[in-house]
Structure 1
Amino acid sequence: MSPLLVSAFVLACTFGATLLAVLAARLLPTGHLTGASKETIHAIMGIMALLAAVVLGLLIYSAKTSFDTKDTEFRHASAKVVLLDRVLAHYGPDAGPARGHLREAVQRKLAALNPKALPADHGSEATFVAIEAIQDEIRGFQPTTDAQRWLKDRALAVSSDIAEARWFLLDDLDSTMPMPFLVVLVFWLALIFFSHGLFAPPNVTVLSLMLFCAVSLSAAIYLMLEMNNSLEGPISISTEPLGRALERLGR
């Protein structure tokens, strides 16, 4: 389910619970909504609201941290690609085929991540397979000088770093929130809105304010899910570093 649909569902549940509470307040006996009942319900819901706020805050923080980590990994992997190309360039003409294969691998990755940036079909070979093939080529180098031996070892080390960069190699890295966890969180929020709706005056001002609060909560959950879904949507990791790296390859 897309983050937008989930946030719309959260909005419907929370504000729907408010409207249901307003209706229930008219049907319940008057004694059920006395001052003592109001104090008790608000005290219990205060604890529930605090718990929900802490959980939602931690989820947003976790999603933002995960998003930043993925972005950093992607930028580092892109920089390593340029570094590997320069090391191979210094090795000499024998590294020409490996440099060409590296450029092809980067083109395939960029086309997979951002078809608009590079819509051409560059083959279906997985990027990690291409990196392993480049490593095999590097291992086959026959250095004749100490400088070439050092460059060969350096190229193998850098290519190993790229091979370990999960963000550069894999597409399916997005975090997913377990659905039962999300259902429980939405239930808490709906219950909180329901409890306040029981005692809220059914006028336009109050209902409008509660609607804005419901929209704010659904927007927070939308942001959290969007940051977890870091490959698509308006909040996604930029492929610009990889595009800039591709422009520098082969120079």
Structure 2
Amino acid sequence: MYPLSSALLVLALLVSGALIGVVVRPLSPEEHKAHQTLQLVQLVDGMLVTFAALVLGLMTASAKSTFDNASDDFRALASDLVQFDITARQYGPDADPVRQRTRVYLAAAIASTWRHEPLPPGNDYPRNLAPKDVTENLDDVQLDQMLNSAGIEWRRLVAHDRYHQDLLDDGRDQFARIVQAHWKLIQEVHSSISLPFFMTLAFWLFVIFLSFGLMAPRNPLVLITIMLGAVSIASVAYVIVDLDTLFRGMIVVSSHPLRDALTALAR
């Protein structure tokens, strides 16, 4: 789902529901305006408002949790890459090909994930990778191959003394954490919003605003209040979907941890 289109859809449903209620009310028979009838409508309306409020809160918490987990995972990946690069730098010139492959992997990952931002410096990484979208599979075969080739290159290194052997062992452990962080992002960073569930919530909100229009007196203050309520709820829908998409919209996962790591790897 796209944040702006989702918010506009919700806004259109709420406004249309309220307008239908305002238009239908004068045409309703008098028995439909009786006190007991209005009380029943208010009871059902209160039940729907409670359910909608709970669901909106749960969806906001779920989307925020997905966003925060993705941010933490990217920071963990950046930290692991920097630690591995420090170990490879201490190993000496023999590890320079490994450092280069790791840097190429990181630059390509940044370029394919944050398409709306400037490309990382350098021309030694592929720029034709498919853009990442949280609603789809985040895995990319080329990125997997780049990371695997760096690991293979590291395992091919042969230590000639105890110092370099310790660095090789440390590097293997650090690279294993990099691979784990890489696949953790692929497995865990997915959309937490179900489209049928979102549309069901939108229908509940439509019914609520329809009842508002049926019960509300026809004066400018009431109409303005209903419009402001519709805009407010539509903005909540925008924030929920925007948080859930991760890499597009106004609220995106920051690329700064990986870009800072790339700067450290390029030294």
Name the aligned partner's letter for residue 101 of structure 2. Answer: H
Q: 2: CA distance between counterparts of 1:32 and 1:166?
A: 61
Structure 1 counterpart of 2:37:
37
Q: Does 1:56 align with 2:72?
A: no
Q: 1:1-21, CA deviations, whole angstroms, 9 ceiling, x for partnerless residues? A: 421011101001011101100
Q: Does 1:150 align with 2:166?
A: yes
Structure 2 counterpart of 1:3:
3
Cα gap change, 1:135/1:158 in structure 2, threshold over 3 Å: closer, same or farther?
same
Q: 1:148-168, CA deviations, whole angstroms, 9 ceiling, x for partnerless residues? A: 222112111111211122479
Structure 2 counterpart of 1:175:
191
Alignment partner of 1:241 out of 244, 252, 257: 257
Q: 2: CA distance between counterparts of 1:208 and 1:12?
A: 15
Q: 2: CA distance between counterparts of 1:103 and 1:171?
A: 23
Q: Does 1:70 align with 2:86?
A: no
Q: 2: CA distance between counterparts of 1:83 and 1:118?
A: 24
Cα gap change, 1:170/1:82 in structure 2, threshold over 3 Å: closer, same or farther?
same
Contact 1:18 1:194 (8 Å CA) reproduced: yes
Q: 1:126-165, CA deviations, whole angstroms, 9 ceiling, x for partnerless residues? A: 2221111111111111112222222112111111211122
For 2:118, what is the secondary structure of its paired residue? coil
Instruction: Give the deviation of 1:27 after TM superposition.
Output: 1.1
Instruction: Give the deviation of 1:114 after TM superposition.
Output: 3.0
Within-5 A mapping of 1:16-165: 16-115=16-115, 116-118=117-119, 122-123=125-126, 126-165=142-181
CA RMSD of aligned residues (A): 2.0
Structure 2 counterpart of 1:231:
247
User: Which has the higher mean CA deviation after the structures are superposed, 15-24 or 138-147?
Assistant: 138-147
Alignment partner of 1:195 out of 211, 216, 219: 211
Q: TM-score, normalised by structure 2?
A: 0.88
For 1:154, what is the secondary structure of its paired residue? helix
User: Which has the higher mean CA deviation after the structures are superposed, 83-92 or 118-127?
Assistant: 118-127
Task: Identify unmatched segments of 5+ residues in structure 2.
Answer: 130-140
The share of aligned pairs that are identical, in percent, is 30
Instruction: Give the deviation of 1:25 after TM superposition.
Output: 0.6
Q: 2: CA distance between counterparts of 1:167 and 1:218?
A: 35
Cα gap change, 1:96/1:166 in structure 2, threshold over 3 Å: closer, same or farther?
closer
Name the aligned partner's letter for residue 222 of structure 1. Answer: Y
Q: TM-score, normalised by structure 1?
A: 0.93
Q: 2: CA distance between counterparts of 1:114 and 1:5?
A: 21
Contact 1:128 1:163 (8 Å CA) reproduced: no
Q: 1:72-129, CA deviations, whole angstroms, 9 ceiling, x for partnerless residues? A: 1001101111111001111122111111111111121122223432266522572221
Q: 2: CA distance between counterparts of 1:190 and 1:55?
A: 15
Cα gap change, 1:166/1:21 in structure 2, threshold over 3 Å: closer, same or farther?
farther
Q: 2: CA distance between counterparts of 1:233 and 1:163?
A: 28
Cα gap change, 1:126/1:217 in structure 2, threshold over 3 Å: closer, same or farther?
same
Q: 2: CA distance between counterparts of 1:225 and 1:172?
A: 17
Q: 1: CA distance between counterparts of 2:56 and 2:182?
A: 28
Instruction: Give the deviation of 1:250 after TM superposition.
Output: 4.1
For 1:126, what is the secondary structure of its paired residue? helix
Name the aligned partner's letter for residue 89 of structure 2. Answer: A
Structure 2 counterpart of 1:219:
235
Instruction: Give the deviation of 1:35 after TM superposition.
Output: 0.8
